Amino acid sequence: MGRLLDVRDLFAGYGPIDVLRGISIHLDAGENIGLFGPNGHGKTTLLQTISGLVRPTSGTITFNGADITTAQPPKIVEAGLVQSPQGNTMFGEMRVQETLELAAFSRRARGKRNDNLRRVFGLFPRLQERGNQRSKTLSGGERQMLSIGAALMCEPGLLMMDEPTLGLSPRLKEELSEAIGKIASDGVPLIVVEQDIEFLLRAADRLYLIEHGEAVQEIDRANAPDHAEIMELYFGKAGA
């Protein structure tokens, strides 16, 4: 099986100081990966850089064998690399269904708009119920569903999610966890950023611990220490 995504020795940031400092991660065909680690250490920046929204200062990003290090964001989405962003970025006057339909703007996704809309509504019946509602009136959990739904409308060949359960109740978290499991078993490869390691271990085959803009540890679920040990590794280091 080939390598779907290869990030090598990547440096990137927002000013003179790099947030990402030589990070390398990869994702092989057929696997899902998780990213965790303390706040402010570059997880979101990594996803933004892969999406083309933050420009790398050095290093390479290869997706499906193509070098996308300097590609523009629309081109990256067109290639099938899609991010469902962290936080509230797309919620306004537009109605839920319109938001989803508009998300299928790329050439790759346009023809599959109706199929994908059905798929998103199947996954998140709540979005269908709220189809006519303005997206700014959605609850936190529903916004997260819309954000993931919009990403699915892009027909992703690799879907990146940034803290999809941040701030959600345990019940909603469970609901999202199930939906994310379904997306994965549908054959969409995933990169999931999460603080909740138990959640991550359910969704991902391999985890990377991100600290100071580097992947400092790689954990294979198959021969992983149990999650208590991972917690200790994480909190032990984060608290040190």
C-beta of 132: minimal distance to ligand ADP in Å?
A: 34
C-beta of 107: minimal distance to Mg ion in Å?
A: 30
Residues 6 or more apart in contact with residue 127 via CB below 8 angstroms: 96, 100, 120, 121, 142, 145, 146, 149
Do 80 and 68 contact (CB within 8 A), yes or no?
no
Q: Which residue in the block uniquely carries the two structure tokens 């940034």?
A: 162
C-beta of 162: minimal distance to Mg ion in Å?
A: 6
Q: Which residue in the block uniquely carries the two structure tokens 């019946």?
A: 125
147 makes contact with Mg ion (CB under 5 A)? no
44 makes contact with ligand ADP (CB under 6 A)? yes
Judged by CB under 5 A, the number of residues near Mg ion is: 2
- The correct pick among 34, 42, 80, 189 for binding ligand ADP (CB under 6 A) is 42
Stretch that binds Mg ion, among 43-51, 68-76, 138-146, 210-218 (CB under 5 A): 43-51
Which listed option, Mg ion, ligand ADP, none, makes contact with residue 223 (CB within 5 to 8 Å by class)?
Answer: none
Give the phi and the psi of residue 91 in degrees, each rounded to 5. -115, 110
Distances, alpha carbon 137 to alpha carbons 122, 140, 143, in Å: 21, 10, 9
The residue among 44 and 144 lying less far from Mg ion, judged by its C-beta, is 44
39 makes contact with ligand ADP (CB under 6 A)? yes
Do 236 and 225 contact (CB within 8 A), yes or no?
no
C-beta of 58: minimal distance to Mg ion in Å?
A: 22
- The correct pick among 33, 34, 45, 81 for binding ligand ADP (CB under 6 A) is 45
Distances, alpha carbon 101 to alpha carbons 98, 105, 112, 149, 175, in Å: 5, 8, 10, 10, 23
The residue among 120 and 160 lying less far from Mg ion, judged by its C-beta, is 160
CA–CA gap between residue 135 and residue 93 (Å, rounded): 6
* Residues contributing to the site for ligand ADP (CB under 6 A): 14, 19, 39-45
* Residues contributing to the site for Mg ion (CB under 5 A): 43-44
